[in-house]
Amino acid sequence: MSTINFAAREINFKIVYYGPGMSGKTTNLKWVFQQVPENRKGEMVSLATEDERTLFFDFLPVDLGEVKGFKTRFHLYTVPGQVFYNASRKLILRGVDGIVFVADSAPNRLRANAESMRNLRENLAEYGIKLEDIPIVLQANKRDVPEALPVEMIQAVIDPEKRLPIFEAVATTGVGVFETLKAVSREVLSRVASAG
Amino acid sequence: MVEPAVALFGGAYEEASRVLEELLRESGARYALLLDRKGFVLAHKEALWAPRPPALDSLATLIAGNAAATQALAKMLGEPRFNELLHQGSAFGLYVEEVGELALLVVIFDNTAPVGRVKLYGKRAAQALEPITKDAVVNPGQVGIDSEYRDGASALLDELFGN
């Protein structure tokens, strides 16, 4: 759950970008980092290998501004997508308030999308959280790849009941990046407000 | 949700700050921070003689990540967790002591502060902080996060990210 620091009058939310390896989670964060003005963001921290694959996580704090006297901040995290990094992936989910699932539109990654969603469900279950309990927004990324699969087909494997909002994106050029982040942020905020 | 929200304010915050202040004075360390396990800073103090600290958000995130990773290691070895972590470089050291289930105490010191002192006073401070953080667990609904707050924050989202 959100962390409230009254002394600094801050409310903090944790948003995690999840998804299979190379689907564009870090690219989403990098775009946000590039576009958000200097005074609204902190440092971006990346724990990556030499070939820039995320090893542990990427982290970016974003200041929304002041609401009702409280500074509101979103802490954005990514997880490493590669299958064998599950131990560290699970750690990043601790205390998460909202999730962006970044799916890859490439035809040969359809199965990887499905496996990553199953892995998300299993990891959340270890914290006693069900998919329905937490705001999740889907992003069909890499819409620009040749022979990108139809969004419906991607949705069919990661969200067959079509419960979750889905956004199309090309994270390298910023298409859909803010829309996705706004959508998940709104859901997190309304969840917190109604919990009161 | 499983992970409770920790909200430090008013008297509890004053008390936590006082403990951190005393810890700095007794140990000779540079900075002392109280974090929750998700990597958010709950309270922090800097020694007046010390230079400006590095970005606290980054520090807190990395320390929480590190503590989570070592806790997973401890579990593999049959321990619920390691209570304390000590990282020592040639000029600087970092000491992390757990404060109950939910929080971490972080002390950053240079080689003017003896490690033994940092550990001794760090442990004492952690004990003093534990009941304070325990009492600080709240439901965000009690603190004015309501639909008015939500609408205000929503408007700011549009302002920052465009419509």
Geometric angle at alpha carbon B20, from B17 and B21, rounded to 5°: 85
Crossing angle of the two packed helices B115-135 and B10-27, in degrees rounded to 10: 170
Residue B13 is nearest to which of A7, A43, A134, comparing CB atoms?
A7
Q: ipTM of the assembly?
A: 0.82
Which is more confident, A5 or B34?
Answer: B34
Q: Assign residue B88 a region: left if phi > 0, alpha if psi is -120 to 50, beta otherwise?
A: beta
Q: Is residue A7 very low, low, confident or very high in pLDDT (cuts 50, 70, 90)? A: low
CA atoms of B157 and A182, how far apart (whole Å): 6
State how far the alpha carbon of B82 is from the alpha carbons of B57, B89, B107, B116, B133, in Å: 23, 20, 16, 18, 19
Lowest mean per-residue pLDDT among A174-178, A180-184, B6-10, B151-155: B6-10
Q: Is the pLDDT confidence value at B2 over 60? A: no
Q: What is the dihedral angle through the alpha carbons of A17, A22, A27, A29, rounded to the nearest 10 degrees?
A: 20
A177: pLDDT strictly greater than 70: yes
Q: What is the mean pLDDT of residues A29-35?
A: 96
Q: Which of residues 33-52 of A touch B (CB under 8 A)?
A: 36, 40, 42-43, 45, 47
Cβ of A7 and B17 within 8 Å? yes
CB distance B126 to B46 below 8 Å: no
pTM of the shown model: 0.89
Mean pLDDT, range B23-47, rounded to an integer: 94
Residues 174-193 of A with CB under 8 A from B: 178, 181-182, 185-186, 189-190, 192-193
- Take residue A66 and report the two structure tokens written for it: 């002041």
Q: How far is B114 from chain A (nearest CA, A)?
A: 30
Task: Tell me the mean pLDDT in the region A32-50.
Answer: 93
The strands making up B92-99's β-sheet, listed across from edge to edge, are B41-46, B31-36, B103-110, B92-99, B84-88
> In chain A, which residues have their Cβ closer than 8 Å to the Cβ of B4?
1
> What is the pLDDT at residue B45?
95
Residues 19-48 of B with CB under 8 A from A: 36-43
**Would the CB atoms of B145 and A190 count as touching at under 8 Å?**
no
Report CB contact under 8 Å: A3, B42: yes
Residue of A28, A34, A43, A64 to mutate, testing the B interface (most B Cβ within 10 Å of its Cβ): A64
Between positions 133 and 172 of A, the ones with CB within 8 A of B are 133-134
Cα–Cα distance for residue pair B124/B146, rounded to 1 Å: 38
User: Whole-angstrom Cα distance, residue B92 to residue B59?
Assistant: 14
pLDDT band at residue A148 under the 50/70/90 scheme? very high
> Which two tokens mark B79?
């321990």
Chain B environment of A1 (Cβ under 8 Å): 1, 3-5, 140
